A and B are shown apart, each in its own frame.
Chain A
Amino acid sequence: MKIGINRERRLAPMSDTNLLLMITIIVFFAMYLAAMVFIGRGFLRVQTFFNILNENAALIILSCGMSIVMITGGIDISVGKLTALICMSAAVNLDYHGGSVLTAILLSLAIGIAFGIVQGYLVAYLDIQPFIVSLAGMFFAKGMTTIVNSTQFNVQNEAFVALKNTRIYIPFLGSVNRRGVFVPAYVEIGVIVAIVTVIALFVILRWTKLGRSFYAVGGNPQSANMLGINVRRTRFLSHLLCSFLAGIGGFVYFLHVGSGAPSHATGAEMNAIASSIIGGTMLTGGVGNIAGTFFGVLSLATIKNIVSLLGLDDAWWTNITVAIMICIFLVVQSVVLLRKRK
């Protein structure tokens, strides 16, 4: 809808950001419709869609953070292991140190912010390459997770389990099961958090000074500097925001799985990067959209669901299909952008 308005307002060619966003949205809906028509079964139920949201709420939040860093021209590969560290710390806090849900949340956010401050400082003020900084952050989080606790365990804390099992029913949506009983569709709390995050970040990136300076710094740091934008501070804030979102995402992930384990969220950083890319964010900076990232996560999850529903649920098929999909997206994007330049 947004694209339509843009087109009417100024008939100039669409910006890279909007063009890539439109491709993503179209592909997502085409894919979902194709799945509904050709596979039917699960995809016809509303709950399948909401399950995709439930499963990927944390990834949505992580990907949003990743997009912001990527728009600013950086990268953060520590978010996956950071999620695992947060899960483990929150779990240990709840079960072994008598913490409450509130302390667990505060702990998660504090870990995220601490990572953000250190990484942001190293990247922005000491000019160290973001890849290396977040690589070290990833190593650190990976090691710390096992230092905090080396085995997997499920959290027994009652208040937490109650929160984990809270389901929010969606009015008027649902499906009729075999016995003819109406089953309303539901989402978990994490989904609400994720959607609020997406909307908040969308607004920030689009209409605030900070959001616009992210794009400016990512597009061209020199000209951003000449415009009077504090480049270092903007970079610092982008990393801080990303790690802070990883803190939120980490807790949402924890809320979904309800356990702490060193193997949690393995590869989440790569999924987040892939989602951002599919959503039209470019690693070179200056191009990207949070709405696209949201649809990127959904597209990635949908393709995984389609593969498993087709009965190809050997783990290797999922990976290969996802890889093929990323490949197709990348090639399409690059071809479209190359043609436009000419």
Chain B
Amino acid sequence: MSIDKTPSIGLQKASGLFRRQIFIPLAALIVLILFNLIADPSFFEISYGTNSAGNPVLSGYLITILDNASELAILAIGMTLVTAASGGQDISVGAAIAISGSVVLRVLCGDNPRPDEMQASILTAFLISCVVSMLFGAFNGTLVAYFNIQPMIATLILYTAGRSIAAWINNNRLPIISDPSFGYFGTFIPGIPIPTPIFIAIICMAIIALVLKFTTLGLYAQSVGINPNSAKLNGINPAFIKFITYVIMGLCVAVAGFIKVTRFSTINYSVVALDIEMDAILAVALGGNALSGGKFSMVSSILGAYVIQFLTTTLFKFNVSSSALPAYKAVVVIVLVVLSAPTVRETLKKAWNRLRAGSPARKEA
């Protein structure tokens, strides 16, 4: 019942917002916040302490959410562009993260899986993994843009092979980097109490905000997604735009993969970022973007990513076991998408109008 009421609360506060795309993830976030506020306000406490390495750190569920959602938010950026331009989704991102993480470790470790000191600078390793990831992105992009293969199917190739390639890059060994400075990127930089991934995510968002503001990428991606033929008649090269979004996706994957490996300073090919592609696609869908391409809202997608992480953390807090978690997540997702479905929204709107028309009359009587 409380679920039915939420759109009405949103309506009361800002009826204009109801039509906006960002309404869906925002409403979901508000519901989650309210739910936590009622169930246990201590959810929002943030404490200041020191971790095992003696660094000052902030801890609390909110920090955990912001920290853990970083990769997802970064992936959501790439996924939104890919979805908008090509009208399909890249399902290979989880496998591609395994590859990019594996490349980072391979460059840093060389042939010795337990090096005492790193063989190359972290920046070099990161840049090389960016190049490799962008090449894989270009591979996906070529299949989608120039061979006209449906995105989900084209990326199925890398989805199948990705984790195997990642294992092959490191000869199936699991390198571990003992240098603490490597871990700074995934955990905390000494002296700064906020987890580093949050900063990385913010930098990525700032870059994409600038790109969308000062270049025509967003506009071109939308026009290609809405109608490739008319985009072509207007002098846009649809194939190239699709291709470039996949390359950008590759870059996002490299950053996300870098965060993933620096969190633990090692990698497990078969489980790292498992099913993260599903969460990333979900973030795009929760953001109210049409998965068939066209118009998109980057802010909504990123907010969607945080909503998903908020939900996951909330469920963990209520002692839902990690293996049973997907079932609860599914129920919430279904409720959200049903509420945001056009037909349901139409019905709710009519009911709301009837209610509003009816209530003054009742007051007068």
Q: CB of B291 within 8 A of chain A?
A: yes
Q: Which of B141-200 contact A (CB under 8 A)?
A: 143, 147-150, 152-154, 156-161, 163-165, 167-168, 172
Q: What's the Cα separation between A140 and B290 when bound, in Å?
A: 23
Question: A126: which B residues are within 8 A, CB to CB?
Answer: 338, 341, 343-344
Are B165 and A146 interface neighbours, CB within 8 A?
Answer: no
Are B149 and A132 interface neighbours, CB within 8 A?
Answer: no
Q: CB of A284 within 8 A of chain B?
A: yes
Are A136 and B157 interface neighbours, CB within 8 A?
Answer: no
User: Number of A residues contacting the other chain (C-beta, 8 Å)?
Assistant: 48
Q: Which of A230-282 contact B (CB under 8 A)?
A: 262, 270, 273-274, 277, 282
Question: A139: which B residues are within 8 A, CB to CB?
Answer: 278, 326-327, 329-330, 333
Q: CB of A122 within 8 A of chain B?
A: yes
A334 to chain B, nearest CB (A): 4
Are B330 and A137 interface neighbours, CB within 8 A?
Answer: yes
Q: What's the Cα separation between A148 and B290 when bound, in Å?
A: 34
Q: CB of A144 within 8 A of chain B?
A: yes
Q: CB of A143 within 8 A of chain B?
A: yes
Are B323 and A143 interface neighbours, CB within 8 A?
Answer: yes
Are A129 and B321 interface neighbours, CB within 8 A?
Answer: no
- Selected from A75, A140, A146, the residue in CB contact (under 8 A) with B152 is A75
Are B147 and A330 interface neighbours, CB within 8 A?
Answer: yes
Smallest CB gap from A119: residue in B: B334
- Selected from B147, B158, B282, B326, the residue in CB contact (under 8 A) with A335 is B147
A153 to chain B, nearest CB (A): 16
Please, what's the 1-or-0 string for B260-300, where 1 marks a CB less than 8 Å from any CB in chain A? Answer: 00000000000000000010011001000011100000000
Smallest CB gap from A314: residue in B: B172
Smallest CB gap from B88: residue in A: A283
Smallest CB gap from B291: residue in A: A129
Are B291 and A143 interface neighbours, CB within 8 A?
Answer: no
For the complex, would chain A's binding face be called helix, strand, loop or mixed by DSSP majority?
A: helix
Interface centre among B154, B160, B325 (most CB of A within 10 A): B160
Q: CB of A133 within 8 A of chain B?
A: yes
Q: CB of B211 within 8 A of chain A?
A: no
User: Given A126-B344, A135-B281, do A330 and B143 touch, yes or no (CB 8 Å)?
Assistant: yes
Are A143 and B329 interface neighbours, CB within 8 A?
Answer: yes
B229 to chain A, nearest CB (A): 14
Are B323 and A136 interface neighbours, CB within 8 A?
Answer: no
Smallest CB gap from A143: residue in B: B327
A288 to chain B, nearest CB (A): 13
Q: What's the Cα separation between A38 and B337 when bound, in Å?
A: 53
Are B327 and A131 interface neighbours, CB within 8 A?
Answer: no
Are A316 and B323 interface neighbours, CB within 8 A?
Answer: no
Q: CB of B342 within 8 A of chain A?
A: yes
Q: CB of B357 within 8 A of chain A?
A: no
Question: A8: which B residues are within 8 A, CB to CB?
Answer: none
Q: CB of B331 within 8 A of chain A?
A: yes
Are B334 and A146 interface neighbours, CB within 8 A?
Answer: no
Smallest CB gap from B159: residue in A: A270
Q: CB of B245 within 8 A of chain A?
A: no
Q: Which of B319-365 contact A (CB under 8 A)?
A: 321, 323-331, 333-334, 337-338, 341-344
Are A150 and B337 interface neighbours, CB within 8 A?
Answer: no
- Selected from B153, B290, B321, B337, the residue in CB contact (under 8 A) with A133 is B337
A76 to chain B, nearest CB (A): 12
Smallest CB gap from B151: residue in A: A283
Question: A273: which B residues are within 8 A, CB to CB?
Answer: 152-153, 156
Smallest CB gap from B152: residue in A: A283
- Selected from A138, A147, A274, the residue in CB contact (under 8 A) with B156 is A274
Q: CB of B89 within 8 A of chain A?
A: yes
Are A143 and B325 interface neighbours, CB within 8 A?
Answer: yes
Q: What's the Cα separation between A318 and B150 when bound, in Å?
A: 24
Q: CB of A128 within 8 A of chain B?
A: yes
- Selected from B89, B157, B282, B343, the residue in CB contact (under 8 A) with A330 is B157
Q: CB of A320 within 8 A of chain B?
A: yes
Question: B165: which A residues are within 8 A, CB to CB?
Answer: 316, 320
Question: A146: which B residues are within 8 A, CB to CB?
Answer: 321, 323-324
Q: What's the Cα separation between A90 and B168 when bound, in Å?
A: 38
Interface centre among A125, A136, A137, A284 (most CB of B within 10 A): A136
Question: A102: which B residues are within 8 A, CB to CB?
Answer: none
Question: A334: which B residues are within 8 A, CB to CB?
Answer: 147-149
Question: B278: which A residues are within 8 A, CB to CB?
Answer: 135, 138-139
User: Given A127-B342, A135-B281, A316-B167, do A326 and B326 touch, yes or no (CB 8 Å)?
Assistant: no
Q: What's the Cα separation between A338 and B146 when bound, in Å?
A: 10
User: Given A135-B281, A331-B147, do A140 and B331 touch, yes or no (CB 8 Å)?
Assistant: yes
Q: What's the Cα separation between A122 and B337 when bound, in Å?
A: 9
Q: What's the Cα separation between A274 and B149 when bound, in Å?
A: 13
Are A323 and B172 interface neighbours, CB within 8 A?
Answer: no
Are B168 and A132 interface neighbours, CB within 8 A?
Answer: no
Are A326 and B164 interface neighbours, CB within 8 A?
Answer: no
Question: A306: which B residues are within 8 A, CB to CB?
Answer: none
Q: What's the Cα separation between A7 and B78 when bound, in Å?
A: 46
Are B147 and A320 interface neighbours, CB within 8 A?
Answer: no
Q: What's the Cα separation between A129 and B285 when bound, in Å?
A: 9
Are B338 and A323 interface neighbours, CB within 8 A?
Answer: no
Question: A338: which B residues are within 8 A, CB to CB?
Answer: 147-148
Smallest CB-CB A-B distances: 4 pairs:
A143-B327, A316-B164, A323-B161, A140-B330
Interface residues in chain A, defined as those with a beta carbon under 8 Å from any beta carbon in chain B: 75, 122, 125-129, 131-133, 135-140, 142-144, 146-147, 150, 262, 270, 273-274, 277, 282-284, 314-320, 322-324, 326-327, 330-331, 334-335, 337-338
15 A-B residue pairs with CB within 8 Å: A75-B152, A127-B342, A129-B292, A133-B337, A139-B329, A146-B323, A150-B321, A283-B152, A283-B153, A316-B168, A320-B161, A323-B160, A323-B161, A326-B157, A338-B148
